[in-house]
Amino acid sequence: MSLLPTRISILAAEFNKSIIDTMISEAQKTAREAGITDIRVIKVAGCYEIPLIAELELSQSDTGIVVALGYIERGETLHGEVMGNVVHQALVQLQLKHRKPVGIGIIGPGATEEQAQARKVDYAQAAVRASLKNWSLLQGSQKKS
């Protein structure tokens, strides 16, 4: 029963590249500081593409944690709101299916560029930290059972 996951897979929606590049760097840095050495970064087109790749990564025994990074910008229609709901729901369901943490670092929906700039570091760090905390809680519960 290891205290740390073998691998963290960071899935980044590069629809808004300037925001996401910073989020990727911050997530990598936070994972390294926690002692993780196997950090995989996979860039997808947008948030809608994250759940499928998350499923593939979580199915691999070495992948202990998936971190999802994205920014759903404010648009003129409800497209972003629908996407946000669908993607968040899918990622939560994948956690329950695989019994592995998914750190969700998706800004928005409906966020302005300014709001995203203000949140990109905190969301990326929090997604890694929260998923690592859940990892240790899961390890603890498995020890007891």
Ligand X SMILES: CC(=O)[C@@H](O)COP(=O)(O)O
Ligand Y SMILES: Nc1c(NC[C@H](O)[C@H](O)[C@H](O)CO)[nH]c(=O)[nH]c1=O
Under the rule (CB under 6 A), what is the footprint of ligand X?
72-73, 75-77, 79-80
Is residue 98 flagged as an active site residue? no
DSSP secondary structure of 55-102: HHHHTSTTEEEEEEEEEEE--SSSHHHHHHHHHHHHHHHHHHHHT--E
Contact 54, 91 (CB under 8 A): yes
Confirm or reject binding of residue 53 to ligand Y (CB under 6 A): no
CB-based closest residue to ligand Y: 46
Task: Please report how close the Cβ of residue 72 comes to ligand X at its closest, in angstroms.
Answer: 5
State which residue, 87 or 128, has the beta carbon closest to ligand X: 87
Residue 123 beta carbon to ligand X: minimum distance, rounded to whole angstroms: 17
State the binding partner of 2 from ligand X, ligand Y, none, CB within 5 to 8 A by kind.
none
Catalytic residue among 17, 45, 60, 79: 79
**51: Cβ–Cβ under 8 A, 6 or more apart, which residues?**
87, 90, 91, 94
What the block records as the tokens of 53 is 């790749």
CB-nearer residue toward ligand X: 39 or 91: 91
